[in-house]
């Protein structure tokens, strides 16, 4: 049963890539009971092939696996791959968490985890994707679909992003963070607010998720920007600059 999947129209489809057979069996049973359709692979290479072959709504990706590890899978998927990825990392290994986010993962969950926490993370990511999709539909033919500030332009109808007219590829999480910052341009947005609004969870102590996502956005802007777009307000959060120098 683990090796096959049926794509039902009204179900969300999840690809689980993890070499822990016992855990995979438990997760497939649990997520199936929660109404998801789940396909499971036990090594990175076969998981990567399925990720490109089928249209999934979410990928659950372990780090340590044979053939290709989770980081190698993320690299191979590339920045153009749109399906959100939830990394499953070793508990307490902050380097794995940060590296996964830097390579394009939308979020991470440390093992061992409670099945209800996994379900909450899955629903949170799918909810974010649904919000973005609704924004596209609502603004597809409207004049307000374009948000342009300080040479950064967001097109909500197509989810296209440009920096000084150069196309930029963002993950779904990065796109939502940038949207929130730009919609409140000139105002400081606290990191805990970004975490609650975008990641649907309170910011935990030492949680660097928002910092890494913002760093990724800056890195993608860097080749095309001579001036700072997002200012860090130490101890508070972030500020999207309107073009003027802010001290």
Q: How far is CA 73 from the centre of its chain?
A: 15
CA–CA distance, 164 with 131 (Å, rounded to integer):
27
Contact between 238 and 231 under an 8 Å Cβ cutoff? The reply is yes
- pLDDT per position in the chain (247 positions), as tens? 344 455 555 689 999 999 999 999 999 999 999 999 999 999 999 999 999 999 999 999 999 999 999 999 999 998 778 899 999 987 667 788 888 898 989 999 988 899 999 999 999 888 877 766 665 555 555 556 788 999 999 988 788 899 999 999 988 889 999 999 999 999 999 999 999 999 888 888 888 899 999 999 999 998 898 788 999 999 899 999 987 544 4
DSSP letter assigned to residue 89: E
Tens digit of pLDDT for each residue in 15-39? 999 999 999 999 999 999 999 999 9
For residue 193, CA distances in Å to 41, 55, 67, 180 come to: 36, 32, 39, 10
pTM: 0.80
């Amino acid at each position: 049963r683990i090796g096959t999947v049926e794509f039902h129209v009204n179900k969300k489809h999840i690809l689980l890539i993890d070499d822990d057979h016992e855990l995979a069996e438990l997760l497939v049973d649990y997520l199936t009971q929660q109404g998801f359709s789940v396909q499971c692979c036990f090594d990175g290479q076969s998981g990567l092939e399925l990720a490109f072959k089928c249209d999934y709504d979410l990928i659950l990706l372990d780090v340590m696996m044979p053939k290709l590890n989770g980081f190698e899978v993320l690299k191979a998927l590339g920045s153009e791959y749109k399906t959100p990825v939830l990394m499953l990392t070793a508990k307490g290994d902050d380097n794995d968490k940060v590296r996964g986010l830097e390579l394009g993962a939308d979020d991470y969950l440390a093992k061992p985890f409670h099945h209800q926490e996994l379900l909450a993370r899955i629903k949170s990511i799918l909810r974010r994707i649904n919000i973005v999709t609704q924004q596209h539909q609502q603004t597809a033919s409207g004049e307000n679909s374009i948000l342009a500030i300080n040479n950064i332009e967001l097109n909500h109808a197509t989810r296209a992003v440009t920096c000084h007219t150069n196309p930029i590829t963002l993950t779904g999480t990065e796109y939502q963070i940038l949207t929130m910052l730009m919609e409140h341009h000139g105002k400081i947005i606290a990191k805990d607010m970004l975490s609650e609004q975008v990641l649907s969870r309170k910011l935990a102590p030492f949680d660097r998720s928002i910092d890494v996502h913002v760093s990724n956005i800056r890195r993608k802007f860097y080749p095309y920007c001579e001036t700072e777009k997002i200012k860090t307000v130490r101890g508070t959060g972030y500020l999207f600059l309107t073009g003027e120098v802010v001290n």
